[in-house]
Amino acid sequence: MNKPPAKLAPKLASDTAMILAAGLGKRMRPLTATRPKPLIPVVGKPLVDHALDKLAEAGIARAVVNVHYMADALEAHLAQRKAPAITISDERDALLETGGGMVKAQPLLPDPFFCLNSDNIWLDGPRDIFAELSTAWDPEAMDALLLMVRHTGARNYVGKGDFYLDPLGRVSRRRAGRVAPFIYTGIQIVSHRLLRDAPAGAFSTNVLWNRAIEEGRLFGLVHTGEWFEVGEPSAIARTEAWLTRA
């Protein structure tokens, strides 16, 4: 009797992810008075470990983590992990925001790389999101590929959405006075081309996205699972209730 062929692991677009973990966590006060937001526990596990565990499960070997607020505590925690292998991008001297943080870490990052926020919690659909993003990634056409979620799959989210997608998956921004169907999850694939000619110092990734939108090179992929916004203390208990039922 012939055995069925072994399933091959999906080829990932990158073996490295950057985790943005340097922020002040102001919306999470008073919890962030004593610890950085990435170390706040949800279902008994620090937020940053939810993201790092997903990277390890997907087979992503390396993570570059930027640090600023309570950096010593975060570094000490990360030093205890075995997988993925972690490199620190040190922003103790100055908080650089999302865009500036990526530019500073660029020498540590391959082209392309995954990038995600340190407070991301999600449930995958039929495939893990890194395999999904990798399958959709087209380096010839894209400067970045953003993972989106519809309102029905966004837990704790209160807002009007962020983006529209055209039939080819190209991104445009929500128009004033309208509701946009897709919400950015904080997860993306980024090419070094997106970071070219970047401003000096601190700046938002939105600056680079705006240029990519104008050039038709910012794309989106719709997440088929669930995503949890954990932006303030009241969201923790709701998120835990959903996750323990899942």
pTM across the whole model: 0.92
Which domains can be identified in the chain, with CATH numbers? 16-245 (3.90.550.10)
Mean pLDDT by runs of 10 across the 246 residues of the chain is: 46 96 91 93 95 95 96 96 95 95 97 95 92 96 97 91 94 89 96 96 96 97 94 91 82
| DSSP-assigned states of every residue in 99-163 | HHHHHHHGGGS-SSEEEEETT-EEE--SS-HHHHHHHH--TTT-SEEEEEEEGGGEET--SS-SE
Span 59-96, pLDDT tens digits: 999 999 999 999 999 999 999 999 999 999 999 999 99
